[in-house]
Structure 1
């Protein structure tokens, strides 16, 4: 019978599940967590009526989740490195369940916003889960497992829209949150029952001032990004928050370089492979979210515009769902590219495919099948790129900082998606046409969003070229020690 072993003074229980089960649990958790991003999209127009609130106030249901997700990812990563990744995964999923139940039982603004914040706190599941894979899986299986879990981010978002639209169309809107609570509970039980605790921990004191400073700076910086369209981009509130966010983050960076156990080791973060991968991640996140914002609106625009396709929310969601399946299908392809040519090459290919997808989209806008093709091309690129990023990060950081570094990388993607939301909304709002008593985005606006997304992909390609080549294609896996549980199974000390 296998006995628990000790690694670096940390007791570890014997594995209760094989590598396939561990990967499946983390991938399912990633799908459920990413589902939260699109869960309420079908009811956005109805939120003011459902919550008895003004439209500007109801929009906090979306903003709160984005802010919580951005703040929590680097913090949860550091907590995972220090206190155990399985513990952080379980706590994150518990927050998702509690937040979902709170939203399901509420019909007013403040409780729903609180629940959505709790749902956003679960976003750390994906970077922490990827780090756990590196610690626990045999070396040969790490690449494919990381690619699969990375793809879950896009899969959850893609299937979330049609599922949510169908629920809203045929049931009460509270069912959305009961569904997410049930899925979260399943993932929580599986996590506690099957996942081992990582032996790779970095004991020490958690950097509370650093966490508070980072949270304050990110909120001040991202809040005007997401609300600037409502407040006005040149308003005192918007400019003041931008200035405050910049100042707080600069002071935070100085503080982090002077403490012995920082929340984020900036010396590691500014290493060339990590720095340029993170910068490229911002632009990949930007390009990815542009598709989520633009294509549904194009599909649902009235046919009377001359370019709109007049589809329902449900039909639009179903048209975009194949993109999520493409992401999942290409995850092993990305792993093979990484194994043979390196993660840098995989990221280059992924970003290039994203740009090609938007370029094709400029010529394919007149039929539903053409939108589906555009979505699949962009999703293919996103799937390959998202799978490559953790491999690049893990190949350049110490094993005891894997979760923290992946959390920062996830934060960079969140900054990209938040910025994309603001930029694309501003473009579509500035190029409108009148259709009866209402104004709708003009065709020129949609084409402009495609061009801006292509430019983001091109910039991401240049940043990826600045990432140094790894000495060996398998560097991300080679830096990881053989899992403690694997050593136990073979009887090694």
Structure 2
């Protein structure tokens, strides 16, 4: 698509865009995959040691331990997406890597849960690193080729994920949970060095200003609402946490009716086309369901089926099997989704991923909660779902957004990933907490709670099918190299103008 912004500043001719594989492109892809390996160490690796972290900080609020970085990422993403369009994607990516590295160090030395969560908030900057790698690809590759490259970059880090659970299982036994955050900080530093040294500057920049107040109000509102969901189970739904819900709702309403209407809001929700909006709905529910299941798997691994609780998949190598082998699925899902998108568009691989996730949730609910082999199979299917949903979500956004808004629009996808992940993870935590039982003198999760948790994730996949069907209908005439103008930002602006 052509640049429609009068204020956009082109720094590199569009005909310099790469249309195929060269040594230079391979080098760029390798560096961007390294960045996303760091993102995985921030978002996925802590789930391997959730029970150890809960014991270390004497808390049952494991959802905060796991999801605080993703929640912070929902606040970071719009700010950094807009900043990338204005100041350059490489510069902002380096900044996010440095901040995420500092967050890993804070988590490493944290003496208390509050300091640890602060470190996770800083690590949340890594969430922006993922969508910035996608925006950079769109900046240096031709549109059709960029879909293929996006699939490789967003899922290529899964190669590291194949072996990392086995390594981390041994390393955490030897050195404790802190080893996870040492790895994260090291990867952040190395990635920042290579990005600054080899990744080219942005081809297009767009003058503008950054709505910091809007981002903080939106992020703060989400945090307060989710705090209510997390804390209500312990302190009562009509008790002290109710104030958090009221404050959060007020902040979200203030943002929607006031701050979202300013000339340059942090998220321009009125500029989102119907097609992009449908895609974002699918992403928020689908990725949220997958991430919440990832959290549940970590808890199931800590329980032996011999305990007779009706769930539990602990056993030799369970951690590596549940999180290592399925990493192949993430890689395959992303790469295949990118290849298909380049031919018939991103909507169909998005739908395929959703169907796989629904099937896996059903199997897990019926027979997989206490069977390691079936659970590994379901985890593999869900990882195919994850690779397909994330890659297709970014590809959908990239073809619908003009060049000068790639950072901003890609950040919307990441916000949806973060909001879905955090919302369903906290909701799942509340479901488990509401169904706890006493077993051999200890308070543990019940089989009813675990199965209700899986049912919640399955319902999210099912509900996502509604916008998915509408999206397929809207994009039935899509051609990979061309998007009808009425489906794009320019089409919305033209209709409103």
CA–CA separation in structure 2 for the residues paired with 1:26 and 1:182: 16
Partner of 1:24: 30
Partner of 1:38: 44
Matched, 1:103 2:103: no
Q: How does 1:112-261 map to 2 (within 5 A)?
A: 112-151=116-155, 161-237=165-241, 239-261=242-264
Per the TM alignment, residue 39 of structure 1 is displaced from its structure 2 partner at its CA by 3.4
Runs of 5+ consecutive residues of structure 2 not aligned to the other structure: 1-6, 486-497
Give the secondary structure class of the aligned counterpart of 2:443.
strand
Compared with structure 1, are the counterparts of its residues 167 and 263 closer, same or farther at alpha carbon in structure 2 (3 Å cutoff)?
A: same
CA–CA separation in structure 1 for the residues paired with 2:63 and 2:352: 36
Deviations 1:24-83 (A, max 9, x none): 2222211211321233345444446645xx526897544542331221111111111111
Partner of 1:487: none
Q: How does 1:77-92 map to 2 (within 5 A)?
A: 77-92=81-96
Runs of 5+ consecutive residues of structure 1 not aligned to the other structure: 1-6, 480-493
Give the secondary structure class of the aligned counterpart of 1:55.
coil
Per the TM alignment, residue 117 of structure 1 is displaced from its structure 2 partner at its CA by 1.9
CA contact under 8 A between 1:70 and 1:415: conserved in structure 2? Answer: yes
CA contact under 8 A between 2:357 and 2:382: conserved in structure 1? Answer: yes
Deviations 1:239-275 (A, max 9, x none): 3322322222222233345432222222222x20121
CA–CA separation in structure 1 for the residues paired with 2:453 and 2:61: 26
Give the secondary structure class of the aligned counterpart of 2:130.
helix
Aligned residues: 469
282, 285, 298: which is aligned to 2:287?
285
Per the TM alignment, residue 330 of structure 1 is displaced from its structure 2 partner at its CA by 2.6
CA–CA separation in structure 1 for the residues paired with 2:156 and 2:367: 27
Deviations 1:291-332 (A, max 9, x none): 212233334323121644552596334333211111102322
Partner of 2:459: 455
Q: How does 1:352-367 map to 2 (within 5 A)?
A: 352-365=355-368, 366-367=370-371
Compared with structure 1, are the counterparts of its residues 228 and 319 closer, same or farther at alpha carbon in structure 2 (3 Å cutoff)?
A: same
Give the secondary structure class of the aligned counterpart of 1:337.
helix
Partner of 1:391: 395
Per the TM alignment, residue 169 of structure 1 is displaced from its structure 2 partner at its CA by 0.4
CA contact under 8 A between 2:130 and 2:154: conserved in structure 1? Answer: yes
CA–CA separation in structure 1 for the residues paired with 2:482 and 2:100: 31
319, 324, 344: which is aligned to 1:321?
324
CA–CA separation in structure 1 for the residues paired with 2:317 and 2:43: 17
Per the TM alignment, residue 422 of structure 1 is displaced from its structure 2 partner at its CA by 2.0
Compared with structure 1, are the counterparts of its residues 144 and 232 closer, same or farther at alpha carbon in structure 2 (3 Å cutoff)?
A: farther
Matched, 1:435 2:444: no
CA contact under 8 A between 2:155 and 2:331: conserved in structure 1? Answer: yes
TM-score, length-normalised on structure 1?
0.85
Matched, 1:69 2:80: no
CA–CA separation in structure 2 for the residues paired with 1:79 and 1:476: 28
Deviations 1:454-476 (A, max 9, x none): 21111111111122216433157
CA–CA separation in structure 2 for the residues paired with 1:221 and 1:156: 35
Partner of 1:296: 298
Q: Which moved more, 1:156-165 or 1:202-211?
A: 156-165
Give the secondary structure class of the aligned counterpart of 1:439.
strand
Deviations 1:153-193 (A, max 9, x none): 87777866554433220114433322211111111111111
Compared with structure 1, are the counterparts of its residues 173 and 353 closer, same or farther at alpha carbon in structure 2 (3 Å cutoff)?
A: closer
Give the secondary structure class of the aligned counterpart of 1:453.
helix
CA contact under 8 A between 1:22 and 1:194: conserved in structure 2? Answer: yes
Per the TM alignment, residue 344 of structure 1 is displaced from its structure 2 partner at its CA by 1.2
4+ aligned runs moved over 6 Å, structure 1: 13-17, 56-59, 153-159, 476-479
CA–CA separation in structure 1 for the residues paired with 2:462 and 2:422: 19
Compared with structure 1, are the counterparts of its residues 430 and 226 closer, same or farther at alpha carbon in structure 2 (3 Å cutoff)?
A: closer
